[in-house]
Structure 1
Amino acid sequence: MPPIRSDFTDKAFSSRRLAPLVYLLAGGSLLGLSTNLAKQAGEMALSPLAFLFWSLFGAALILLALAAARGRLPPVNARTLEYYTVSALVGVAGSNLLFFSAIAHIGAGFVALVITLPPLLTYLGALALKMERFQPSRGLGVLLALAGAMTLAAHKIATPEADVRWILLALLGPVLLAIGNLYRTLRWPPGVAGEALAPGMLVAAVALLLGVSLLPGFTLAVPVRASVALLIALQAAVFAGQFLLLFLLQKSGGPVLLSLLGSVGALFGVPVAILVQGESAPDGLLMGALLIGTGIALLNLSKAGIWSRFAKSGR
């Protein structure tokens, strides 16, 4: 006779299934908020590099303190140093510097949309590297989310005032993010918790940005005002939560589900850009949002195995 699972076990099992979705929604919301804070920084005469550097510096301190309190400080060896450096370059310093710099030229709303583009690249890479088996429902989910993002992006590029150069530069960011999604999964150091890896990655990102600041034309100087300090502190808290959730989602949901952080970020970030920042609503917003939302639902249901059980039931 098969063992009977208790209600407690069932609830724990369901919680594990729902955890990736919770991480996705929370992390994506923080990502959407981050793009809007970056636009606010530009309006307060903060350079993209300075705002990114000091915000990541604060986030690194927050996560290091949390890791120390739990006895999970980032391990330092050849393998983890490589992991921190590459992850920081493609997933934090490089991509965010591109995005934060582009916001002043193409708007926070459009940058939030650009960050929705990694899913297809990540999914194709995961299939090529045999990290994923092809599932029609998951493939459809990724394509729908991408179609929603492309619908919104196409309308933006078609506007007369569009800055094509910055649009193209911003589109390099999703390529870096997709590489980061795959790299972090493939090279995850054995036995190391995400709580330890996240602060290590942010410390590496701070070091990389410090190197950039030494180049001509770059500076880490910021205006000495209470409002500036408050904005940086808020962005630091957002970054700390965002990157901690990123590693939790990476471990529990895999690189493809992780890549949908940008899609959730757009659903949160675009309305904030419109309602709070005063940006005009992009054409095709409703259709794009519906496609993105449907894609997220399909990909998450497939990941949890709900779709396959539904299909086998014949309903």
Structure 2
Amino acid sequence: MQSSKATAGTLKRRRLAAFIYLVTGGALLGLSTNLAKLAGEVALSPLAFLFWSISGAAVILLVVAALRGNLPPVTGRTLEYYLVSAFVGVAGSNLIFFSAIPHIGAGFVALVITLPPLLTYVGALVLKLERFQVLRAAGVISALAGAITLAAHKLSTPDADYVWICLALAGPVLLAIGNLYRTLRWPAGVSGDALAPGMLVAAVALLVCVSLLPGFSLGIPEGQRLALALIGIQSVVFAGQFLLLFLLQKTGGPVLLSLLGSVGAVVGVPVAILLQGEVAPEGLLPAILLIGAGIALLNIGKVKPQAKIDPP
């Protein structure tokens, strides 16, 4: 009896922790898209803003890891993990999103990031990371319906930039792949707070490679104190966001993790409207209600991933 009560208490704390990670991490994600728009307004290129912000976040997390005696391990397995995770979950996806913001707005990009749940859930079912459960499937469908509602309105506007809208929609595919990959390939015995800085360091290396291509630069506009301030704020936001990502990955699994974008939209869209003067997307209220319902259903229907593939 005492054992079953202890187990129930542990599961309850685990769910509460996962919920806190989800809400906090999603809020930081929503803030991040708005900071990227501000960066564009001070002539800071998407690549430069992403590179310097990720570099700052990597330094922050490395210092924290060093103080805790938990630096990222360097082995063949972890190097693969850092590089692949960095490409799909940090460098590739964020470069797409940050580049798209000046063309389609921070609000819409924040909404696009709500799309990974369905892709992640289907992939998790195929890979047997999840067992099918009606409530969780309904939650994913509800969140996706909210995102589709807003995307459909955006595509129907006369001045819709179809090229950037389509490019932005490629970002969620990378995020979904990252959600599944990090669970499947999580190095045994390595904690999330050690993996997060390793992934960010790998992302910095990838972005340096991108900067070597024609037309790309890591330069910061001279005399722009606001640009430096934005990089500093984004560095802190990224440090918190990616650390929480790994903590949520471990406690909640890939499907719950994929809802970070949905929470980010609930935060990011109002900020874009109220503080940055963007026009409220049509269908915003029903979309937010659908996304909120999806988050609730996914939490209610939470099932534990199979033990053999659950991150350590």
Could you say which TM-score interval applies, normalised by the shorter chain? over 0.9
* 2:64 corresponds to 1:53: no
Give the structure 1 partner of residue 278 of structure 2: 279
Question: Structure 1, residues 72-126: CA drift from partner, whole Å, max 9, x if none?
Answer: 1000000000000000000000000000000000000000000000000000000
Shift of 1:17: 2.1
* 2:180 corresponds to 1:175: no
Structure 1 residues 286-297: aligned runs within 5 Å: 286-297=285-296
Unmatched tracts of structure 2, length 5 or more: 305-312
TM-score under structure 2 length normalisation: 0.94
Separation in structure 2 between the aligned mates of residue 278 and residue 181 of structure 1, nearest angstrom:
33
| 8 Å Cα contact 2:48-2:219 kept in structure 1 | yes
Separation in structure 2 between the aligned mates of residue 111 and residue 4 of structure 1, nearest angstrom:
46
TM-score under structure 1 length normalisation: 0.94
What is the total number of aligned residue pairs between the two structures? 303
Unmatched tracts of structure 1, length 5 or more: 306-315
Give the structure 2 partner of residue 197 of structure 1: 195
Which residue identity is paired with 1:254? G
Give the structure 2 partner of residue 38 of structure 1: 36
Give the structure 2 partner of residue 107 of structure 1: 105
Separation in structure 1 between the aligned mates of residue 172 and residue 7 of structure 2, nearest angstrom:
39
2:301 aligned counterpart, secondary structure: helix
Identical positions, percent: 73
Separation in structure 1 between the aligned mates of residue 3 and residue 143 of structure 2, nearest angstrom:
39
Give the structure 2 partner of residue 220 of structure 1: 218
Which residue identity is paired with 2:136? R
1:40 aligned counterpart, secondary structure: helix
Shift of 1:227: 1.3
Which residue identity is paired with 1:73? L
Shift of 1:303: 1.0
| 8 Å Cα contact 1:198-1:244 kept in structure 2 | yes
Give the counterpart of 1:72 among 63, 70, 73. 70
| 8 Å Cα contact 1:80-1:189 kept in structure 2 | yes
Which residue identity is paired with 1:29? A
Give the counterpart of 1:146 among 138, 144, 147. 144
Structure 1 residues 74-89: aligned runs within 5 Å: 74-89=72-87
TM-aligned CA distance change 1:276 to 1:5, over 3 Å: same
Separation in structure 1 between the aligned mates of residue 84 and residue 164 of structure 2, nearest angstrom:
25
Q: Please give the root-mean-square deviation of Cα atoms over the aligned residues, in Å.
A: 1.4
| 8 Å Cα contact 1:17-1:304 kept in structure 2 | no
Structure 1 residues 110-121: aligned runs within 5 Å: 110-121=108-119
